[in-house]
Amino acid sequence: MTTATGSFELSALLGRLIAEQRIELPILPAVALEVMAACQQQETDAQKLSAIIHRDQALAANVLRVANSAAYVGQIPCASLTQAVGRLGMQLIAEIAVAVAVKGRAFAGRTCADLFEQLWRHAVITGFFTKEIARMRRRNVESAFLCGLLHDIGKAVLLATVGKHFEDGRVELAAIAHALQEHHATVGSQLARGWRLPPQIVEAIECHHDYDRAKTAQEAAMTVCLADMLAHFVSPTPDVQTVMASALRRHPVLLALNLYADQLDALLVRADKAIALAAGMA
């Protein structure tokens, strides 16, 4: 092994920090939690949702920026959040608001900035496909986007931890990728519980690589599993082995979700939309 920290050493260190509860978990802004709660209330309208988001001016500006990106609007941009809610709907604006808040709290760091960017891009594309799969299967799509968006949030938390414990160049990139892959589901589910997210989202994060372990939200875990692979297929990342088309089509999760080849093709046709969404939320 070189002077740089290797996979085993880094994985062992992160394992100890997790066991000792010494991983610093970011706090989700109160406004984001209010947005999620407001969307569950029938009396919430465009003005009320806009007023909640405006309590955080930076968040409001970024939500409007994303809402006006090529992924969402046509040639005429929205002039206000109220107008954006009216055009895109409360659920979509809520998703954008939570995504913007999550990005600012968990997917930003000067150390390993490129890796944070890759993780965020993958998160957004996975969120997109999770929602598309749920819609295709005529399931509730309200929590689907968040299940996908947050599935690898443990990697972002652990990447920030690596940045605090090691100087640049002391850790091999392969070692970082290995350690994050080993521990991210545990940390991600801890974070989701800390944020008091619905149990369905917690279990989807915890079990998306092993959906047979899911006890109450196996379908959500399976949906994220497939969305994760679709995201890696349409937008490969250096830290994960490339997903081959043949492996994707043979994966047992398709049978488990009762999806057929033509439905998989219909999802893949949406790849450009997913990539555009990731660009809009960058």
- The pLDDT value recorded for residue 1 is 35
Together in a domain, 133 and 243: yes
In this structure, the answer to whether residues 92 and 182 fall within a common structural domain is no
- Does position 54 have pLDDT exceeding 60, yes or no? yes
Q: Which residue has the higher pLDDT, 266 or 11?
A: 266
For residue 53, what are the domain limits? Answer: 26-106
Residues 156 and 209 in one domain: yes
Amino acid identity, position 56:
D
Q: Clarify whether residues 273 and 144 are in a common domain.
A: yes
164 and 44 share a domain?
no
**pTM metric for this prediction:** 0.92
* Tens-digit pLDDT profile for residues 171-187: 777 888 889 999 999 99
Verify that 123 and 260 share a domain, yes or no.
yes
Co-location of 100 and 213 in the same domain = no
Report the number of distinct structural domains present in the chain.
2
- On the question of pLDDT at 3 being above 50, the answer is no
pLDDT tens, residue by residue, 234-279: 999 877 778 888 889 999 999 999 999 999 999 999 999 999 999 9
Q: Do residues 96 and 116 share a domain?
A: no
What is the CA 88 to chain-centroid distance, rounded?
20
* Cα 77 off chain centre by: 26
Nearest to 23 by CA among 147, 163, 205: 163
Could you tell me if residue 19 is inside a domain?
no
